Amino acid sequence: MNIFTLLEMAADAMGDRIAISHRDTDISYAELLAAARRVAARVQAAGATRLAWLGINAPAAPAAMFGAALAGVPYVPINYRLATDEIAGLLARIPGALLVTDEAVVADGITTVTPAELIADGPASDGEAPDEDRGIAVELFTSGTTGAPKAAILRHDNLMSYILGTVDFMGADEGDATIVTVPPYHVAGISAVLSSVYAGRRMVQLPAFDPGDWLALVARHNVSNAFLVPTMLQRIVEHLGDGPAAVPSLRALAYGGGRMPHAVVERALDLFPGVDFANAYGLTETSSTIALLDLDDHRAARASTDAAARARLGSAGRALPTVEITIRDDAGAPLGTGIAGLVFVRGDQVAGEYHGLGSLLDEGGWFPTRDRGWIDADGYLFLDGRAD
């Protein structure tokens, strides 16, 4: 199933519902679908082999991702924070791409268009999305901790497996909204769009993160759900000082993408007393989350006087029902409970594949995350740095 199907389903079921709020502009699901069809037509007219995005969060970004899927080409969001020569190096690896950017970029074999031009009124594709589960939906450049950037491949069936296994269709109430702060080139930004669309949740875009702006936008738009990387949550905690946060609409706050200091989590729980917290652990190569420390885990750990139970606030939680996680030694042999080693994961959402390098999955379908960690007797995963 093509990821474009998610947007089609949302627009068919709730076309008038607001999909995106960006500054003072609201875009409905029907309007987002129409924009994606115009994007697909522009991609096809340009004869592009990929659709690349270089810029901040904007309404055209989700339209670009779904439009690329309809056109049958990969969507390639690029880190706009990279140096000019680094960006040039990445563009050289995707010849034939249509690049969406407001920047003055000149690259051989690359055609550029602005975000406004991409979704402007014009011809629209009325065709069906290619029905190819193994087609490439997204390519994300990721370098881990060492080496040159690798182009991680996420196929349609990987992303659809993650969404269908973790999100209920139209599961959000009409008034629900999530604030999108993670940049488009991060896998969490990709999954935020896909999961919000399938759930029918409005996406409030914050183009550039600032803790004061984040709090103001959450209050202004009655945001119910949020995802933050650890540095963002830490900055919000520092900004609030003695708090508490005046954001009564916020019900759920997930964090992930790096190690979260215990003290920050403890303080955040104090500053957001009515909010359900969750720690999501995942990788680009796994289509996002593979383990979760959920709201009940946070509450139990916080309320416990047992040191081991409280230590779980520092864990990545337990594997999602749709994936398996195991720990191996350097030779590939499975390790027992509580023994640290290399983290391996498998499941339909796990891609573990790179452009030009092929698949890193072993014969059993296991992907080496290159993270180190251990699993306790109750299945909680504790991470302990990288192996590379």
pTM of the predicted model as reported, rounded to 2 decimal places: 0.96
The answer to whether 211 and 218 have CB atoms below 8 angstroms apart is: no
- Each residue's pLDDT, cut to its tens digit, for the chain (388 residues) gives 999 999 999 999 999 999 999 999 999 999 999 999 999 999 999 999 999 999 999 999 999 999 999 999 999 999 999 999 999 999 999 999 999 999 888 788 899 999 999 999 999 999 999 988 899 999 999 875 557 899 999 999 999 999 999 999 999 999 999 999 999 999 999 999 999 999 999 999 999 999 999 999 999 999 999 999 999 999 999 999 987 899 999 999 999 988 888 899 999 999 999 999 999 999 999 999 999 999 999 999 989 999 888 899 999 999 999 999 999 999 999 999 999 999 999 999 999 999 999 999 999 999 999 999 999 999 999 999 888 7
Structure confidence at residue 341 (pLDDT): 98
C-alpha to C-alpha distance for 8 and 1, rounded to whole angstroms: 12
C-alpha to C-alpha distance for 157 and 353, rounded to whole angstroms: 13
Structure confidence at residue 146 (pLDDT): 58
In whole angstroms, how far apart are CA 21 and each of 37, 148, 162, 206?
20, 36, 25, 9
CB-count burial class (<10 Å; 0-12, 13-18, 19+) for 159? buried
- Domain covering 4-162: architecture: 3-Layer(aba) Sandwich (3.40)
Taking alpha carbons only, the member of 167, 385, 79, 139 closest to residue 285 is 139
Taking alpha carbons only, the member of 258, 344, 287, 346 closest to residue 139 is 287
Structure confidence at residue 120 (pLDDT): 98
